[in-house]
Chain A
Amino acid sequence: MAFNIVASSFEQKYIERSQWHMTGMTGFIFGFVALYFNFVGLMTQFMERWIIEGVLTLAHLTIMGVALFGGVTIAIRSKNLSAAGKVANGAAVGAMIGIALSLLMLFMTQLDIRFMFVALSNKLFLFLSWKQGLEGGITLQIVLSAALGALGALIVVMPKVLRRPLIWGLSAVFIVGLFSELIQLVMQYEFILGFRDWFFTWEGQRVQGAMVVFVVSFSAMLFWTIRGGAVKERFGQLSPSGQKSIRYFGWACALILFLLFPAAAGSFFGQVMMYVGLFILMGMGLNLELGLAGLLDLGFVAFFAAGAYTIALFTGEHELQILLLDRPLTWWEALPLAVLVSVAIGFMFGIPVLKVRGDYLAVATMGLGEIIRVVVLSDMAAPLLGGSQGMLHIPRPSLFGWELNDPIYLFYLTLVCASVAGYFAWALENSRLGRAWMAIREDEDVGQALGINLVNVKLLAYGLGAAFAGLAGAIFAVMLTSIFPHSFQLLISINILALLIVGGLGSLPGVVVGAAMLIGTPELLREFGEYRFLAYGAVLIAMMRIKPIGLWPSAARKREIQSAEEIEASIREQMEEEGQRT
C-alpha cells in the first residue's frame, strides 16, 4: 500500500556531490527560503513582534536565522572539509542569501511590484536595508549574512563543550521571547509581579531578562556537558533499587507539576491542553485502526461528530429527547450512549469497506466521513440535528452538584478520560486482538489462513477506534456548549493522521508527542494567524525528510530500523573486506 511506503521509507542518503555543487545548492535553497518569507508577508508581521524588546524583532531573528542555518547545513553536509573550509563555505552560503535579499531590495526600488505582492512594503525595505538606503543596505545585508553563515558553520565545528551550551542559551532566549506573553500569563501572582516586570514587558523580554535567560541556560548546559558524565557515573553506581526510586521520584515530580500546571497557569492553558487532550484521545483511536490494524481511515472525524451530537441530543432541551425520556440525561448518563453510538457508526462504517484495501480504503473512508457531515447538514436531518444552525445550549456536566464550567475543570475531565482510554489502548495493543490486528496489517491473507476471522477483527478495529473518538466528541460538545457541522471537517481527520505520523505510527507515547507538537504549538502561536499553518506544513515536510519514523516511534519500529541498519553495516563491512582482499 502506497501509504506504507510514505510512512516507512528510511532516511534518504545524500548522493555525493562536488563541494561547489553542494555549496551552491544550499545557498540557492536558503536564499529562496529567505525570499519566500518576505514575499508571503511573514516578515511584515514578524516585524511587529519583539523577541528582545527594543533590540531584536522576530523578523530580524528569522532573516538572520536563515543565514545561520544555511551555514550550519553546509558545514554538516561537507564532511570532507577542514574546519576553516567549512567556515568559508558557510560564509559563501550566507553571502548568497545576502545577495538574494539584495536583489529583492533592488527590485523593490526599481520596479513597482506592490500591486502583485502586497507584502513588499516600504517598511519591509527599511527593515531589509537596516535603514541604510539602497547601497548601504545591500553591502550591510551581504556582509551580515556572510558573517552569520560563517557563524553557523563555526557553531558546527566548535568543540562540544562550547557548542551545546551556546545552542541551548540561544534557543532558550528565543523560546522565552517567542512565548513571553504566555509566560507572563502564567506569572500572574502578586508576589512575582515585580520579578516578572523586571524580565518582561508585554511587548517582549527586556534586555536584562534575555541576558539572565542566556547566562542561566548557558551555564547550566556548560555544567552538564563538563560534569554530566560524572553525575551519570555516580548514578550508575547506586544500587538498582536506589536508581529505580530516584527515577520514580523524578517521574512523580514531573507528573505532579504537569497536573498542577493548568490550575496554576490559568484558563487559556487549560483550554489549550484540553484541546490537545481531545486530539490525543482521537489519535489513540486512529492508532488502533491505522497503527495496529493498518486500516487507513480518513473519515475518522465522523465518529467524533457522532459522540458530540449524541451528547447534544440527549442532554439538551430537544424534542426527540422529550419524546423518549421525561427529563434530559446528565452528561454522565449520556456519555456511555455517545460512546455506544460511535461504536455503532464505526461498525456501519466498516461493513461497506471490508474488502477495500490500501489507497482505495483511504478514498472510501473519506467519502463515508463526508457523507456523515453532509447528512448532518441536510434539510432532512435539520429538525433533529439543527442543520447548519448547529445545536446550542448543551449543558455542562456537573460533579457532586458542582458545574464543570471552567476549561481547567474540563481539562481534568479530559485528562481522566484520556488516561482511562490510554490504559485500554495499551491493553488492547498487547492483547490477542492487538496481535491479530498487527498480523492483518502485515498480510491479510496469511492472517486469515492462520485462523483470524477477518470480518470480526476489522469491524472491531473500526468500532473500538470509533469509541475513542466518541469519547472525545462527548467532551468537545460540552467544551463549546454548542456544535456545528463545520466543526467536523475532513481537516480534523487529516490532522489526526498527521499527528500519528509525526509522533510515530503505532506508538502510544508518539500520539501524545505528536498531538502536543501539531495541535498544541499552533494553539499557543495563535497570534500569527494563518501563518502558523505555513509552519505546520513546513514541520510536516521536514519531519518526513529528517525523521520519517516519528518523534517517539514504537519499540518494534525502532528495532526494525536498527536491524536494517545493522544489516546494511555488515554488508558494507563485507564489501570493504572483499575490496581489501582484491
Chain B
Amino acid sequence: MAHIEVDDIHVYYGNIRALQGISFKVEKGAIVTLIGANGAGKTTTLNALSGILGLREGSIHIGDTNISDFMPHQLIPKGIVHVPEGRRIFARLSVDDNLAMGAFTRNDKAELSKDREYVLEMFPRLRERLDQTAGTLSGGEQQMLAIGRALMSKPDVLLLDEPSMGLAPVLVEQVFNSIIDINKTGVTCMLVEQNAYMALQIASYGYVLEGGRIALEGVAQELAKNEEIKKAYLG
C-alpha cells in the first residue's frame, strides 16, 4: 500500500482555484518529486498535505489514516513533517534551540539525544554553531538547520519545499546528498523543486505540475529524458 495517497484534491485561495483535481501516490521509502514552473501549484500541494491549506474536495491518506481535515500540529504525531519554502528557521533562537523545537512533541529523552547526535553527525557545521543565533547562519547552513530541525521529530515522511532555493551549486549537491542519506534510513521523501534536473536525479518517480493539474508523470529517469521536459525545465 502506498504511504501517501492523494486523491483528486481541489484547493482554493478564496475564489481562486489553485489545484484542480490532483491525485498521486508515494510508495513507502521512496523519493518522489513534484516539479513544475512558478505558480504551477507545487507549494500549494505541499501546504495542503501538511494541513496549512484546507481541501475543498478530495482526500489525503497517510497509511490508513485520512488526514484531510487535520490541523498542522496534528500531523507531527502522524510522522509527517514539513520543511517549508525559504527555510524559515527561528532566526532569533540559537541553533540548539531550533533543533530542540523540532522535537517539541517528543518526550523520550534517550532516543532524542540519539537523534540529535544523528543530525549533528549529518551536518557537522551545525555542531560548530550550536550556540549561535540561527539568523546569523549562511543560507546553506540555514537549510541544513531546517532539515535537521525537521528530522528531530523523527518523521516517517519528510515534505521538502524547494531545498535548493538560493543556494550555490556545491551546497545544493550537499543538501541533496543528505536527502538521499535520510531516505536510506527509511524516511519517505516528497520533494518539491524548481531545479528539476537535480530533483529527477535523486527521485525514483516524478510528477510534473502545470496550472494546478498533473500534466505528466513517470519514472524519474525517463522523465529526465523526456524531450518536452528537457525543453521546458532543463534547458
- Chain B neighbourhood of A559, CB < 8 A: 94, 131, 133
Most B Cβ at <10 Å: residue of A435, A438, A442, A452: A442
Task: Among B72, B90, B91, B135, point to the contact of A448 (Cβ < 8 A).
Answer: B72
Q: How far is the CB of B137 from chain A (nearest CB, A)?
A: 10
**A window 508-528: CB within 8 A of B:** none
- Interface pick from A108-116, A200-208, A409-417, A560-568: A560-568
A556 to B96: give the CA distance in the assembly, Å: 12
Do the beta carbons of B76 and A450 come within 8 Å of each other?
Answer: yes
Do the beta carbons of B52 and A449 come within 8 Å of each other?
Answer: yes
- Chain A neighbourhood of B50, CB < 8 A: 449
Main secondary structure of the interface of A (DSSP, over half): helix
- Chain A neighbourhood of B84, CB < 8 A: 445-446, 449
Q: Does B77 contact A (CB under 8 A)?
A: yes
Contact flags B109-132 to A (C-beta < 8 A → 1, else 0): 000000000000000000000011
A445 to B83: give the CA distance in the assembly, Å: 11
- Chain B neighbourhood of A154, CB < 8 A: none
A447 to B149: give the CA distance in the assembly, Å: 11
Q: Does B136 contact A (CB under 8 A)?
A: yes
Task: Among A435, A557, A563, point to the contact of B101 (Cβ < 8 A).
Answer: A435
Contact flags B180-212 to A (C-beta < 8 A → 1, else 0): 000000000000000000000000000000000
Contact flags B203-229 to A (C-beta < 8 A → 1, else 0): 000000000000000000000000000
Q: Does B42 contact A (CB under 8 A)?
A: no
Q: Does A124 contact B (CB under 8 A)?
A: no
Task: Among A438, A449, A451, A453, point to the contact of B93 (Cβ < 8 A).
Answer: A438
Task: Among A442, A453, A557, point to the contact of B90 (Cβ < 8 A).
Answer: A442
Query: Nearest residue in A to B149 (C-beta to C-beta)?
Result: A450
Task: Among A446, A452, A556, point to the contact of B92 (Cβ < 8 A).
Answer: A556
Q: Does B102 contact A (CB under 8 A)?
A: yes
Query: Nearest residue in B to A453 (C-beta to C-beta)?
Result: B73
Query: Nearest residue in B to A442 (C-beta to C-beta)?
Result: B90
A454 to B51: give the CA distance in the assembly, Å: 13
Q: How far is the CB of B83 from chain A (nearest CB, A)?
A: 9
Do the beta carbons of A439 and B81 come within 8 Å of each other?
Answer: no
Do the beta carbons of B132 and A439 come within 8 Å of each other?
Answer: no
**B window 131-170: CB within 8 A of A:** 131-133, 135-136, 149, 153
Do the beta carbons of B77 and A442 come within 8 Å of each other?
Answer: no
**B window 91-106: CB within 8 A of A:** 91-94, 97, 100-102, 104-105
Do the beta carbons of B81 and A449 come within 8 Å of each other?
Answer: yes
Residues of A within 8 A of B (CB): 432, 435-436, 438-439, 442-443, 445-454, 556-557, 559-560, 563-564, 567
